[in-house]
Structure 1
Amino acid sequence: MELNSQANENDHKSFRVQGGLGLGLNARTSERIAFVLLGLSAMLVAGFVVIILAYIVYNGYSAINVEFLTEIPRMRMTQGGIYPAIVGTVLLIIGSMAVALPLGILAAVYLNEYAGETRTTWLIEMAINNLAGTPSVVFGLFGLALFVKYFGFGSSILSASLTLSFLIIPVIIRSSQEALIAVPKEYRESSLALGISKWQTIRHVVLPAAIPGIVTGSILSIGRVAGETAPILLTGAAYFLPRLPDSIYSQFMALPYHLFVLATSGTSIVKTRPLQYGTALVLLMIVLGMNAIAVLIRRHYRKKLQI
């Protein structure tokens, strides 16, 4: 009996060891497959980005020169440059971010730090989600009715910037909320334990720690502002304007609308093809430049937090 019990126990041990090895091998195999699939997905995305960039650069680099970047368009925009469109795009980015960034951060602070889980908060969250999924042309119609007509700003940089600021506020709110949630609760508790008020804690402790995440949301917003066409088409962008805007109430040219005009106008596509891709390349360079500045700001604050 003792021999039989020992044999049965040895069989059970052997079965457990073999089962454990089998499970271990299966887990390792699944992990390797997952890593391979993730790597292939990343390479596929990076490959598409490289192909798009290479295609734009190949077709547009021949149009890039000093005249193209510093002069106004001429001859139905088949000659000259895109300087007014560059200035208009930069002004749109600055104006919309100046309005949307503080409003978005303050709204995120309220929702994350002050508002509890109430029905009102739930309704606000639903409104933000709906705004984030609203087509940009709807924002353009809203800006046309409110800023251009009702407030009397006319077709101008101000109307277009305010419209685009409403377009990107949901993105900034969401990214700011995620950044605030990521700040450890110990930061808040330690500050409050020292007798510091809640607002001072948020201002001097929570927000500095959340700035890298907030800047990430700003980067996404900059790209969307620079590339939108429908909202500015309805609120201030001009088809052809051979001068720079002299105030925030002036019409303007912008790179995305200029690119749209070149691609859909009745002029010969042979003449405008390099200009189209050159305009797209300049727009891409502006977005990348703005993003690079935002990345440097984020890196600065991350190093500051590590110190």
Structure 2
Amino acid sequence: MKSHTNKENKYDYDLVVIGGGPAGMTAAIYAQRANLKTVIIEKYAAGGKIIKTSEIENYPGYDYILGRELSEKMKKQVEKLQVGFISDEVTKIRDSKDHKVKKVILASDEFYTAKGVIIATGTLERKIGAVGEEEYANRGVSYCAVCDGALFKNKIITVVGGGYAACEEALYLTRFTNKVNLIHRRDQFRADDKTVNKVKNNKNINLITDHVVLQVLGTADKKKIGKLEIQNVKTKKNTEIATDALFPYIGSDPVTKFVKDLDICDSNGYIIVNDKCQTKIPGLYAAGDVIAKNLRQIVTAVNDGAIAAQYLINFIDNLNE
């Protein structure tokens, strides 16, 4: 195996992985095993969205596993290989003219240099845009049922959305209460038939279709959520429903603000890559939910991470020739 060194430049790392979800951790595993000095920079917690996922039943090797458990298994494997973890936010990436040095600049004003970078920052949940949504964040409004569902035991909980995540989290929340509302702006759901049927047949889930949330209203003391103002999209009639919690699950947006000036994203903000997970900038790769593709699952993120790392290993080998 070639030595991953370069006599002309001094680097902090061979590879910087931005994002510690399944794609980022997989890339780090492959790179570190190929003797690349690798570090993961993660703003939040290792695991990405899977730590917010209650139950996983479609990941090969496990009939059933909790999201946090799968995340922890991945993290332990990465740590066993002695991959570094830095808790910070990346604000910019700068590339040298010969593409041999990448500078990764952090919110803390520190920076690291590397021969290559893999972006695996994933996506963040969208807000529904209702009046009062931000005001009552952490006071009843939450974007993580796994994190906060237990806080509302025997309370009224409302989920907003019509996709797989919304349906799965509504089902999960029935562990804590028999009063779960599921609001969707249409009467058809985007989840698979099996999941939708589970929701429709669950006596603890109250379906409110053809409605949107207009406003989050607080209790008399304004300390927490008390009710929601909702609107029928067909009749335009407004009504109010009581709730103690609101969990929006209406989709996500890619975390790519820090690379907007690199012109590597499509019109929706997702990073454009080729079949090698390489952007148009040599030595800059991307993997996982952050890239432009049709299917975003844990297994596809892991796939992307392995591909990106392997081709970046080849790229770095060629720097030394």
Specify the TM-score bucket, using the shorter chain as the normaliser.
under 0.3
Higher relative contact order (CA 8 A, sep 6+): 1
Q: TM-score, normalised by structure 2?
A: 0.24
Structure that is richer in strand per residue: 2
Structure whose residues are more often helix by fraction: 1
Relative to the length of structure 1, the TM-score reads 0.24
Is the radius of gyration larger for structure 1 or structure 2? Answer: 1
